[in-house]
Structure 1
């Protein structure tokens, strides 16, 4: 029988040689236990004994054996019952279970396997066969140990990744707030005319930027930018570009210059694009480029001069709902040092509006992979012609969601809506 002193001795031996395998022999026959113990200790195993299933379970609660060799026929709790109880114990590692039996019928063997046994030995036990079965079990335990070690490493790695992901997720949430703050105003009135903005990244952060700033009392500049790529790098570029087109720091705004009597004026749109092109290529070590739509709007005459540098064609919707697309296309900004940009003009009448969108709108796809394109945008604009400012932009978002089948948009969505209400009379 195993005593508390025996268990302490075995635990000390285990500490001295942690690689030594522990075997528990469970048999109501003292002689059978002694025979097996002699062989096992000679082979280098740390051996524990128990004379019954309940005694063995008590031992296993404090000392986890690597192997269990149990007799089938025992009073009270037989081998299969003990095996089933053993399998139900909470263990750190697997225990290889061998049943000793004189039973050879398939039904009995199946019963032992169902109880959780790994292998069988018939009585009388052959030393060579016992050693072969233990060697087979050793291979199983080694594989199990390797799997446990790898699973622990995997679990630890996953926990580290989860920690990093949680930190990154938190940073991206804050980054989204900061990027949205770049668009300080989503709506402003200029006399009877109005500007409304839409900015909706497809991920936490995106590469789209929209905005406006007064040039002087008579004119307002509108801009829409779509930086190549997605994610943090694109978002950082939009933050840099927002500083170049800031309405709150006119001295740093590349579109503005201070004219006579301290009144600000704006460079022609094609020169604004050229200046940004030069800044990107000479001052920023990056492979990133962007498309740009920059428009200079006269609030009195309704005249517009603009540059379309790779951005989708802007739409002019007349007061009667008809839509026409204008522009000359052109190269994106930041690709070629000698890129040429052209200024084009248009004129709005009272009740007309200018609508500028990113390619996330015109290139969004339905379930079959068909893109919305300009004609689809025309249909949306005509369908919502009676809506103004926020309602119009909300309707655009709704219609895009319906077009895509309520799937997540794969690209950022941004838009600038300028509604011309007629000549601005107060130029203070």
Structure 2
């Protein structure tokens, strides 16, 4: 069915030919808009919503090819289909017209049936473009709604992350969190478990985006201070973070999907400085002593949820006063520069060893800055988490952060 009152500009300097074409077009159910030359036609294109122009090749003031070039240079919110009327089959002329932006040709004085066919073809293309535009608007509206939901989810996710505090039970904690998308698959926490024990964890869910973030948020809701105490401390208050990791592996390994995550968690005794930790596939953190010597701790381990029968072990490290534990997700050492070279652990170690001089609280942002320079300002391809825990004194405070 032909679209009613679709405007068609007829650019023709021959008055009789113009009247004939306009009458034929009006008879087909369109609205013919006459123009005596290219300049008049161009002005009509600017002023009306006409989407078809039938133009003579040879016209005074501005010919058909010149008119086409001018139309293609306009900033319109719709496409204009141009049919060129010619009295020649000269390939050179037609090539020039095509390069200018002409869509179709018709021999001047040709049959009415051919003109009808050309107009109907143009109408189908216009209707198709209109349908695509409508679908695009709907998709854009849905996309904006999704983006709003993602921004809300990101805000909710950030609320689960700990806030910086200068002193929690004699420890200073600083962090940096850089998601590769609006939402992230990383999660971390740090909190008092008892008057003399600090618990912490860092998680990196496989994959990126919404799917990974849903699992990370689920972990963040699950691993509360109460959960940590029940699963990582025995009744006699002896730390056993591996027991908590094993419990998480049983819980998430039972699902039918392929989700898994890496994890590093631990319990620090503020009096003795003993660090009991469990590593489950997460990159080994650096423990930097007061002299600036960095030591990587841990030896790997299986990711959580990947192998249901996996076993996990505890490790022990002495965490002295003025020492700093620096935990980084694998986005840090795997970040590549434009030459596809990874940032690597050696560069991370070099930055970590500056913590006694620059202050442990500045290390997370210092690493982020170094990675930004390394990637020449390009966004990271993976979610980045950096946590620095410095043992500063023995103040008896135990607020959750």
Tell whether 2:146 aligns with 1:179: no
CA distance in 2, matches of 1:195, 1:47: 78
In the TM superposition, 1:21-420 aligns within 5 A as 64-65=31-32, 81-82=36-37, 84-89=39-44, 90-97=48-55, 114=66, 118-119=84-85, 132-187=110-165, 189-247=167-225, 250=226, 255-256=231-232, 259=235, 265=237, 268-282=240-254, 284-420=255-391
Q: 1:399 to 1:88 in 2, by over 3 A?
A: same
Q: 1:131 to 1:272 in 2, by over 3 A?
A: same
CA distance in 2, matches of 1:22, 1:394: 62
What secondary structure sits across from 2:147 in the alignment? helix
Are the counterparts in 1 of residues 239 and 276 from structure 2 also a CA contact under 8 Å? no
Are the counterparts in 2 of residues 96 and 141 from structure 1 also a CA contact under 8 Å? no
CA distance in 1, matches of 2:206, 2:243: 22
Q: How far apart are 1:157 and its partner, in Å?
A: 1.4
CA distance in 1, matches of 2:38, 2:366: 68
CA distance in 2, matches of 1:33, 1:426: 94
CA distance in 1, matches of 2:242, 2:228: 18
Are the counterparts in 2 of residues 315 and 355 from structure 1 also a CA contact under 8 Å? yes
Deviations 1:257-310 (A, max 9, x none): 6847xxxx465111111100011123x443211000011111111111111100
CA distance in 2, matches of 1:370, 1:339: 33
Deviations 1:215-255 (A, max 9, x none): 211111111000011111111111111122112xx168653
Report how many residues are paired.
360
CA distance in 2, matches of 1:131, 1:281: 77
Normalised by the size of structure 1, how large is the TM-score?
A: 0.73
Structure of greater relative contact order (alpha carbons < 8 Å, 6+ residues apart):
2
Q: 1:290 to 1:115 in 2, by over 3 A?
A: closer
With 314-323 and 236-245 compared, the bigger mean Cα shift is at 236-245
Deviations 1:110-158 (A, max 9, x none): 9576567832579xxxxxx977343333333223112211211121111
Q: How far apart are 1:417 and its partner, in Å?
A: 1.3
Q: How far apart are 1:91 and its partner, in Å?
A: 4.5
Q: 1:253 to 1:173 in 2, by over 3 A?
A: farther
Q: 1:310 to 1:256 in 2, by over 3 A?
A: closer
Are the counterparts in 2 of residues 96 and 137 from structure 1 also a CA contact under 8 Å? no
Q: How far apart are 1:205 and its partner, in Å?
A: 0.6
Gaps of 5+ in 2: 69-82, 89-106
What secondary structure sits across from 1:313 in the alignment? coil
Gaps of 5+ in 1: 1-13, 49-62, 69-79, 100-105, 123-128
CA distance in 2, matches of 1:212, 1:390: 15
Q: How far apart are 1:214 and its partner, in Å?
A: 1.5
Q: How far apart are 1:93 and its partner, in Å?
A: 3.6
CA distance in 2, matches of 1:188, 1:33: 83
CA distance in 2, matches of 1:252, 1:222: 9
CA distance in 1, matches of 2:389, 2:345: 18
Are the counterparts in 1 of residues 286 and 352 from structure 2 also a CA contact under 8 Å? no
CA distance in 1, matches of 2:234, 2:316: 24
Normalised by the size of structure 2, how large is the TM-score?
A: 0.77
